[in-house]
Chains A and B, each alone.
Chain A
Amino acid sequence: MLKSKIICVTGGKGGTGKTLVAVNLAIMFKNRGYKVLLIDGDVENPNTFLLLNAKLKNKTEVHYFLPKIIEDKCTRCGLCAENCETHALLYIKNSYPIPMSTVCSGCKLCYKICPTNAIEPDLKVIGWIYTASAFKIDLFLGELKPSEARSAVIVNKLIKNLEGVIKTEPEKYDIVILDTAPGAHCDVEALINSADLVIPVTEPTRFGKLDLLRIIELIDLLKKEYKTIVNRSSLLGYKEKFLLELEEKGIEVLGDIPLDEDIVRSYCQGIPLMEKSRNSDKNGMGYKSFNEIFENLMEWGEFSK
């Protein structure tokens, strides 16, 4: 029986090391013989493939609905514009409605209610989904097209693809790791909501703490279990004080990762620190702390193969 399977790595603040943790957790599970799927849900700025030096394949378009007015059929009644909650159809009496792509929510109401079927879906490409494999880890990655706003559509597509795999090939993966965007908006929320366990990654600064408290509020709202990782824990000697502050607030810590040059090197090389084939410094602070975190995670998550 699988007790937990999907782990979401998030953090609130940007640049705390979410992707670093997500990628290395994926690698450590793989090292132990688990079949791992990593999903990059930071579709505004997907970075996992850089850390894995992975070649993205199977590019598929993600479309979004926009109304297209078929003038031959349109009676210019204005019903579509009247009912559009976001005012995405500009209508002047007796003229054809004009779709406004920037405010359209994609709800398809206009398409459904047009009495003469004069509205057709005009599918617009707003991003892509890719797959890749690197270091025996499978990767699903979403990418928002720059200047498009609706990142949540791509995140939801990734989640749908994941649900599809779990349904059709339940044995294919033992562990799924989700990497999120910074912030606490709908993209992050949808990914946290899909997970069994959540790991917010923070740093021992005022910003880190404030944003951690906010993301924990969201995790609590979604009723998920979580434990925190403190990255760059050796920064200016704030670690002890920071850990104490977390303890006072009842926030459980899975482990901490000190500043370590080998981490920076591995990141720029595109070979994860914890990858077996990499000649990582086994006595390095980063390497040791990741191993410790993994042991704590195994104890917490009760994962089975």
Chain B
Amino acid sequence: MNRKKIAVISGKGGVGKTSLVASLASIAHKDHDVNLIVLDCDVDAPNLALILPPKSKEDIITQDMYTTKKATFLEEKCTQCKQCYNEHFCEFNALNWDENNNIPVIDYLACEGCGACKVLCPESAFEINPVKSGEIISYETSSELPLIYGKTKLGSTTSGLLVSEVKEHTQNLEKYNDTNLILIDGPPGIGCPVIATVSGLDYVVAITEPTPSGLHDLKRALEMVNQFNIPFGIVINKADLKSASQKQLNRYIQKSSHEILGRINFDLSIPEAMSYAEPVVDYAPESVSSQAINKIYAKLKSILLQL
């Protein structure tokens, strides 16, 4: 197989992305045809490391990332002309005026680091500097599977840029040259970090559940994926849920003729496996969900081989 990059996304959160990725990773890692690197691009709430922990804590490599820029105010240069505030230099409302001290104050959470204040201030009383936006953590799991994940520094605004850095980071790994599968655990939603996750991928796995929100958010996620012309397949989790949405989901799938990679019925071994911090295919290999995930892997592999 040529090198393929794939991600599991969902639109709606909490439908089983991470549980599926952990199990697919475990299966793929045992597959002799596959040399795998696994990434967690849900940089707001990275959870994959809980199920695929490091072999030893000493081997964890943490790198600080500076993908965000923020404005700094240089008081010594300010002539208190108030032009920055009066003329609305900042489109992001990050520039406020401190009436007591008669100087501008920067709202660091709102600041996008665009540099407008720096350029427009007649006294050059603003600077733009990179600030820490998060961390990239990489290690090998107990079964020597390389794993990389990003974690945003809270309040640092740009998770999309950090996602791109996590993806690029794979190239720093020694094993990268031999790698033929990069499997990504994606963030929920369809916005900036998800777009950064799916850009440049070969295939997307969209997981959903038969609920009104699950279906609504799946459609939105697929609309986004379609805009980027990436082929995709659908996994239905909690597929046997007693819900009025079953009909609508089935009708949607029939009508759209989207590829179904498989269905996973509700199975307590999934939350149980999670509580033991193990992929369900390792914790309960005979369970219905493990069997379903093995089938999904086989189908996914055959699709990837044809791409």
On A, residues with C-beta under 8 Å from B are 12-16, 19, 42-45, 47, 50-51, 65, 83-86, 105-109, 112-113, 144, 146-151, 181-187, 189, 193, 203, 205-207, 210-211, 214, 217-218, 221-222, 235-236, 238, 261, 264, 267-270
Contacts and interface: CB of A to CB of B under 8 A. Distances in A.
B291 to A, nearest CB: 21
Interface of B: 10-15, 18, 42, 44-45, 47, 50, 69, 90-92, 109, 112-116, 119-120, 128, 152, 154-155, 157, 159-160, 187-195, 211-213, 216-217, 220-221, 223-224, 227-228, 241-245, 268, 271-272, 274-275, 277
The SS class assigned to the A binding surface is loop
Contacts, number: 184
B114 A105 contact: yes
Contacts of A14: 10, 12-15, 45, 188
Contact of A185 (B91, B193, B221, B243): B193
Given A16-B14, A147-B224, A268-B245, A207 B274 contact: yes
Contacts of A181: 188-189
A268 B115 contact: no
A294 B62 CA distance: 43
A109 B119 contact: yes
A150 B11 contact: no
Nearest to A112: B120
A275 to B, nearest CB: 16
B92 to A, nearest CB: 7
Nearest to B50: A206
A225 B13 CA distance: 25
A87 to B, nearest CB: 11
B274 A184 contact: no
Contacts of A65: 91
A238 B275 contact: yes
A65 B254 CA distance: 39
Contacts of B18: 207
Contacts of B155: 189, 218, 221
Contacts of A85: 69, 113-115, 128
21 contacts: A12-B44, A14-B15, A15-B188, A45-B217, A50-B213, A83-B115, A84-B115, A85-B114, A105-B112, A105-B114, A107-B91, A108-B91, A146-B227, A147-B228, A150-B191, A193-B109, A205-B275, A207-B18, A207-B45, A210-B50, A222-B109
